Amino acid sequence: MIDLHTHSTVSDGSDPPAQIVALAAAADCRAVALTDHDRLDGVPEARAEAARRGLELVAGCELSCVWGPGTFHLLVYFLEPGLGPLQEHLTTLQGQRDERNHRLVARLQELGLPITFEEVEAEAGGAGIGRPHVAAVLVRKGVVASVAEAFDRWLAKGKPGYVRKATLEPGEAIDLALASGAVPVLAHPHSLGLEPGGLGPTLRELSERGLAGVECHYGAYQPEERAGLTALAGRLGLVATGGSDYHGRYKPDLSVGTGRGDLEVPDAVIDSLRERRAA
Ligand code: AMP
Ligand code: FE
Ligand code: FE
Ligand code: ZN
């Protein structure tokens, strides 16, 4: 078993990078990818812990891309910290996220909600602020009962508190990943919000652009959804990847390795991805 999608305190997860690796080891994972939003800062700590515990740490990150009406997230694997076009662009993405975070808090204040930027910063513990931190402050203030409700009522796309962030086009993100020697994979494909039958043509186009894989074994998907996506990936020659999208207490129903309890990403996926890197 492996897990190719996790978030730490470096972005919007609640566990430090080393703890993610410890949880992966406890779940009997042979490998785990750290895929914080827009940041590689957790990789050295996670890698040191992985070396101690004898499992493989895949360096990665998750990039938000321009897409309407749904959400397009690109997972990028084997992206080592250091020099490269995508690594250099991460600082721009972090700046755009920062700017969005300030506008988001201002919007919520305009809507009359009791929240300050300082509170959100304190929740996040500094860098890598995201909407789950805003949601957690709204829970603490009694505005909503859960992080999920904060998204449903205020923060999700189309809700009154939603504020768009400037970011990459999908094709640009794929190009940057490839130019950095990394492997781009589409995360949680159902979030694209496409009609049934729309996903195939879109994946074909992305594949022609250089997309290597699609996240079929996703923690929050049902077994039949995973099977359908895996069959589609096979027809298109894309690697059927997978992971839990673990965020610690911000997504309390998901565990490293096992997702909601029934996830099992095959070990061989990591070798298929590695071959795409060499290709
Ligand atoms: P951001 O990158 O700051 O725009 O926030 C996006 C993050 O919010 C995602 O990566 C998830 O961690 C989280 N998220 C998005 N939608 C939901 C939801 N409905 N419930 C809980 N968390 C969500
Ligand atoms: Fe997240
Ligand atoms: Fe995502
Ligand atoms: Zn994620």
Each residue's pLDDT tens digit, 175-228: 999 999 999 999 999 999 999 899 999 999 999 999 999 999 998 999 999 999
Query: Is there an atom of ligand 1 within 6 Å of 150 CB?
Result: no
272 SS3 class: helix
Does residue 160 have a cis bond before it (omega within 30 degrees)?
no
The torsion angles phi and psi of 37, rounded to 5 degrees, stand at -65, 120
Of the candidates 220, 236, 230, the residue with the CA atom closest to the CA atom of residue 266: 230
C-alpha of residue 251 to centroid of ligand 3, in Å: 12
Q: Are 101 and 120 in contact (CB under 8 A)?
A: yes
Sheet architecture: strand order including 31-34: 2-3, 31-34, 56-65, 72-77, 183-186, 213-218, 239-243
Q: Confirm or reject: Cβ of 147 under 6 Å from ligand 1.
A: yes
**Atom of ligand 1 at shortest distance to CA of 147?**
21
Instruction: Ligand 1 pocket test: pick from 7, 8, 12 the residue with the most ligand atoms within 8 Å of its Cβ.
Output: 12
C-alpha distance from residue 201 to each of 23, 196, 212 (Å): 37, 11, 15
Domains of the chain plus CATH, in order, are 2-90+167-278 (3.20.20.140), 91-155 (1.10.150.650)
The separation between CA 148 and the C-alpha centre of its own chain, rounded to angstroms, equals: 17
Q: Is the CB of 35 under 6 A from ligand 1?
A: no
- pTM score of the predicted model: 0.97
pLDDT digits (tens, 9 = 90+) for 93-114: 999 999 999 999 999 999 999 9
Give mean pLDDT, residues 222-243.
97
Please compute the mean of the pLDDT values over residues 67-80 and round it to a whole number.
Answer: 96
Q: How far apart are CA 160 and CA 144, in angstroms?
A: 14
Give 11's contacts (C-beta < 8 A, 6+ positions apart): 36, 37, 38, 39, 62, 128, 130
Q: Is the CB of 220 under 6 A from ligand 1?
A: no
Q: What is the mean pLDDT of residues 132-156?
A: 98
Ligand number nearest CA of 187 is: 3
- Over the chain, what is the mean pLDDT? 97
Q: Is the pLDDT of residue 279 over 70?
A: no
Share of the chain above pLDDT 90, in %: 96
